[in-house]
Chains A and B, each alone.
Chain A
Amino acid sequence: MSDLYPGLTLGKATRDAYGEALEQLGREHADVIVLDADLAKSTKSYAFSKAFPDRFTNVGIQEANMVGMAGGLASAGKVPFISSFACFVILKGFDQLRMAVAYPKLNVKVCGSHAGVSVGEDGASQQAIEDIGLACSLPGFVVCCPSDEHVMRAAVKAAYRHDGPVYLRSGRPKVPLVYAGELENFEFGRAHTVREGGDATVIATGLMTGAAVVAHDMLAREGISVRVVDMSTIKPLDEEAVRLAAVETGAIVTAEEHLIHGGLGARVAQAAARLHPVPMEFVGINDTYAESGEPDALLRKYGLTAEDIVAAVRRVLVRRGAVRA
């Protein structure tokens, strides 16, 4: 049981929420077709396969062909949801995502599971830390990295409603609940302010949103008031939320379980640079691959905890001149 998130309740893994929401989606919509590349029991598309065997295919271990077939299914009117580990479906299927999905603007939904170092013991080959940047670089793709099970359930429904390619990023471990229950007003491209504050803003995605909430509480005890924005949709980015964070709090820290180059931080910085430049700091993985280990140990070693966010907030406040070094 993780001790990284004091004060928060540990919920389900986002991959479990994905599997449950996908099965429910299958009940409601006959045009949903699910493909998996021999990781259904891990990505959790397995529940759909049991409920709707006629609409599920385990394609075998062949991500490129899976993505290409999804393009063909979508062009013939189906709504394919395809899944594998994020590092395999995005990296091995990348040219196919470009040619058979993004370029023709087809209605394919991609779920990459086991994202980030929190995969744990399997090691760096299984830990996608480049996938957000790659997916964001595909024109027209929606890229969403849900912070907890409630966001994932809402995102699966939103992915079905959205006409076009969507990338949903899920994780292996249980993650803290950021929200109390089902999100009624979720839509892609809209950030949610989960904690208010005026001294700085932490903009976080995925399991780092829970860590940001913990950081908020830690800083509050020192009299520092930090806004926490859950940026579950990284593309399209909620630029108005970034602008308000910059204008109203004067400093921004981003937090993601991904490389700091090319992911959430880079996109937020680009928006802030144009709309209202303020000092920024970036919590994420800095140009390295991780390793095997327990998920929490890896999150600690690679700087992805509430303490790392707290330190980044202190740095950004010093740079802003709000506090002395």
Chain B
Amino acid sequence: MPETRPVSERAALVAALRERSIRMRRDIIEMLAESASGHPGGSLSAVELVAALYFGGYLRYDPANPEWPDRDRFILSKGHGVPVQYAALAEAGFLPREELSTLRRIDSRLQGHPVLGATPGIEASTGSLGQGLSIGLGMALAAQADGKAWRVYVLMGDGECQEGQVWEAALFAGFHQPTNLVAIVDYNRYQLDGAIGDILELEPFAAKWEAMRWQVREIDGHDLDQVLDGLDWAVEQRRPAVLLAHTIKGKGVSFMEGNNAYHGVAPSEDEGIRALAELETAALAGAGNGAAVDRKGDR
């Protein structure tokens, strides 16, 4: 299990995930620039979270057999962020990397939002916000009913937690306490029209989940050590656990970071070139893991 990893192994894992994160960011920028449409901000904010799930030893999967019944399920409830999942699926070997350039094109397997059955490795059709937790909950109940060990991970957006259905599912899970369900919120504090705090504040956010009888931990969603620790902790809970992952929208590309103009607008060709150059520099520096933001005062 990840939590028993020796220190040196953890450091190597973090370094490997950092490299993958940079590659995934490049893939995201390239596919969005190529398709000239899509959602960069919320794809980039979730990179470390998705990289850790796919390549940190949490999700058990078989790219050669995407429908392996005992696989863990990952649901991207914030479906507009699907470029980050396509990047992970290419990195994991579910898709040839060249296929990423077909994103959002006619006849492509890479639909603008995730579609079950269209793309190997996609577990649910999402894109109408607020639904992924319910679907994941249904899967978790099925696994539990059959005595199966597989787990369900649901990555949600913060903005989508304004949807009532999220809290229907949270209430249900809190009461029934399935042992195999982990939720993660990509808490980048922005939604399409602006700042969540200006439109419909979620805070006190952790307290809401706690009130629904979830285990809650807040982490820096770009600090891979914290992400790994958080996922280890969430899996150990064996009851509904949610990670509130503080992130930066557009993370990794200087002119996109915290700039909500890139919520749903793809980079131009020129912006794509500049973004890729920045990520190239980050790769050479072996970095790309600046701490998200100091959130210690938030709780």
Contact = CB atoms under 8 A, between A and B. Distances in A.
Interface of A: 33, 54-55, 57, 59-60, 62, 64-65, 67-78, 80, 95-96, 98-100, 103-106
B139 A75 contact: yes
26 contacts: A54-B145, A55-B145, A60-B171, A64-B130, A64-B134, A64-B164, A65-B134, A65-B137, A65-B172, A68-B135, A69-B172, A71-B134, A72-B140, A72-B142, A73-B141, A75-B116, A75-B135, A76-B73, A76-B138, A76-B142, A76-B143, A77-B69, A99-B126, A100-B131, A103-B125, A104-B125
Please report whether the interface of chain A is mostly helix, strand, loop or mixed according to DSSP: helix
Contacts, number: 102
A65 B165 CA distance: 6
Contacts of B136: 72
A96 B140 CA distance: 18
Given A65-B137, A69-B141, A77-B69, A99 B171 contact: no
B169 A68 contact: yes
B137 A76 contact: no
B137 A72 contact: yes
Nearest to B69: A77
A104 to B, nearest CB: 4
Contacts of A69: 134-135, 137-138, 141, 169, 172
Contacts of A74: 138
B140 to A, nearest CB: 7
B142 A60 contact: no
Please report whether the interface of chain B is mostly helix, strand, loop or mixed according to DSSP: helix
Given A75-B123, A95-B128, A104-B124, A68 B139 contact: no
B115 interface: yes
Nearest to B130: A64
Contacts of A106: 116
Given A72-B136, A75-B139, A98 B128 contact: yes
Contact of A62 (B73, B135, B143, B172): B172
Residue of B126, B137, B165, B169 contacting most chain A CB atoms (<10 Å)? B165
Interface in B106-151: 115-117, 123-128, 130-131, 133-143, 145
